[in-house]
Amino acid sequence: MRKIILLGFSVFALLPSAAKAVNTQAQEFDELGMALYGRGLYAKSINYFQDAVQADPTDWQGYENLGNAYFKIGDNSNAFSAFQKSLQINPNNNSLQIIVQNLQAKGTIAANADQPAFTGVQAPVNNYSVESEQPIEGNQHNLPPSQVFPQPGAGRSPRESWDQTEPASSYGLAPINRSKIWFNIDLAYNWSNQADLFSGAANENSFIQQNGFTGTALADHGGIEGGVELGFLLNPYNGIAIGVRGIASNQYNSNLNLQDGGDFESVNVQPLVVPLTVDYYLFMPDHDGRFFITAGVGYYFANVSVDDNFSYDNSSGPTDEYLGSMGGGNFGFQVGIGREFEIDNHLGLRLFARGRYCKITDINGYFTSANGAYDNYGLMMFPGLGNGIGVDSTSNIGANGEHYATLDYSGCDVGVGLTFF
């Protein structure tokens, strides 16, 4: 007997959890139904609302949504039936009572609620238009259509969850639009402004020509960007992602030589920028994938490899050399647009374009020069070479016209990626 009593208590203890699971499933179907309804896919939203009320026969909101969807496609009989079932569960829904009264007042639905029938008279467009804010004839409260015919979900709190397990192709949304987590790997061509590097190269070339030296100074706007991203879908239309990327680009190198075999200097600079980003995604889902617009902020770390050597006499080789890496960082922001195509139920192809704004200055680091001096050196622009790029002790930068060179990584990239979901 004691075992039977304990078993009975166990069964009752499990009942709330089971009820909650059913209600959660109904909410998930209802959420996707409302998503389709909001895009004007009324016929397809019906499938979800039917699944919602089947999962939870007490879901009066699901029945109300189902009635609104039927009404949108002109099926007043089924709309009326769904509205009546909603009112049987929740008779205190005053706005829905007004809808039912107006349907009956226009003569399109039989007054017998137990046996709704369609008389063959379609609802007049002018009288039943939910686009116009003119009062509807027969509306005893003289309310505008936005209140007489409410939209699905009106007057309730947002759904907390939605389905991501059932195939969605039959409902007009691809599975990629329902998976709550995605992981993306991308590769892109990058273009960045790099004003200081380019102006430094131009100024140094002018200095070389005007002062009897030989040599060139070159910089490059282009480069390669690669990165990874982990995203979390809040609903089919909104998501948040965190990412890390690497941008290797914009080599700067110069060679300066006296024609008589005297002084020379060679500078090679290779920047690598690593942004850590947080982005908001606005999705526009469809049955093949989704378009997206994204915007976010990030912290951009810069690592600059430097090899700067010079000599006052070519015959003796370099008399000093600055060799090593230095770094810096700054905040920036980025925006982008793109399109993802679903390849299968767990893989998508992403095409995207992204713009960014970020300027990094005060780039410096400690390393030992060829003459044994250990100091904090910085990437600077030196007026003695027509504002050319070079390396000097940070204690000297700021004096005699020297100032830090800025890595201007404002620019854009265009690329392709794979999305796993």
**Could you tell me the CA-to-CA distances from 269 to 25, 214, 309 in Å, in that order?**
58, 20, 12
Residue 50: which domain range?
18-163
More confident residue, 318 or 11: 318
Residue 17's pLDDT is what? 37
Tell me the mean pLDDT in the region 355-360: 96
| 316/210 same-domain check | yes
Which pLDDT band, with edges at 50, 70 and 90, does 340 fall under? very high
pLDDT surpassing 80 at residue 125: no
Residue 18's pLDDT is what? 37
Residue 351's pLDDT is what? 97
Location of structure tokens 């505008």:
144
* Residue type at 10 in one-letter notation: S
pLDDT surpassing 70 at residue 385: no
Residue 158's pLDDT is what? 36
The Cα–Cα gap between 182 and 286 comes to 17
Location of structure tokens 């378009």:
291
Tell me the mean pLDDT in the region 126-140: 37
Q: Kindly report the average pLDDT of the chain as a whole number.
A: 78
More confident residue, 313 or 290: 290
Tell me the mean pLDDT in the region 24-36: 84
| 43/79 same-domain check | yes
| 81/190 same-domain check | no
> Does residue 168 lie in a domain region?
no
| 328/186 same-domain check | yes
**Could you tell me the CA-to-CA distances from 342 to 170, 243, 288, 383, 415 in Å, in that order?**
15, 21, 6, 55, 17
Which pLDDT band, with edges at 50, 70 and 90, does 259 fall under? low
Q: Which of 70-79, 216-225, 259-268 has the lowest mean pLDDT?
A: 259-268
The Cα–Cα gap between 202 and 386 comes to 9
> Does residue 7 lie in a domain region?
no
| 80/193 same-domain check | no
**Could you tell me the CA-to-CA distances from 376 to 29, 392, 397 in Å, in that order?**
62, 9, 11
Tell me the mean pLDDT in the region 301-308: 90
Task: Decide: 197 and 269 in contact? Cβ < 8 Å.
Answer: yes
Which pLDDT band, with edges at 50, 70 and 90, does 318 fall under? low
The Cα–Cα gap between 227 and 184 comes to 8
Q: What angle do CA 345, 347, 353 make, to 5 degrees?
A: 135
Residue 245's pLDDT is what? 95
More confident residue, 148 or 60: 60
The pairs formed by 97-106 with CB atoms below 8 angstroms and a separation of 24 or more are 98/139, 98/140, 98/141, 98/143, 98/147, 98/148, 99/67, 99/148, 99/149, 99/150, 101/138, 101/140, 102/136, 102/138, 102/139, 102/148, 103/76, 103/79, 105/138, 106/137, 106/138
| 181/158 same-domain check | no
| CATH number of the domain to which 85 belongs | 1.25.40.10
More confident residue, 302 or 8: 302
Hey, what's the torsion of the CAs at 33, 35, 41, 42, to 10 degrees? Answer: 40
Q: Which of 163, 183, 204 finishes a domain?
A: 163
| 390/293 same-domain check | yes
> Does residue 8 lie in a domain region?
no
Residue 50's pLDDT is what? 92
Residue 127's pLDDT is what? 30
* Residue type at 164 in one-letter notation: Q
pLDDT in tens, 162-192: 444 344 444 467 788 888 999 999 999 999 9
Q: Which of 163, 194, 213 finishes a domain?
A: 163
> Does residue 377 lie in a domain region?
yes
Domains: count for the chain:
2
Tell me the mean pLDDT in the region 319-337: 90
pLDDT surpassing 70 at residue 93: yes
Tell me the mean pLDDT in the region 213-223: 88
Residue 295's pLDDT is what? 98
Residue 20 parent element (H or E): helix 2-38
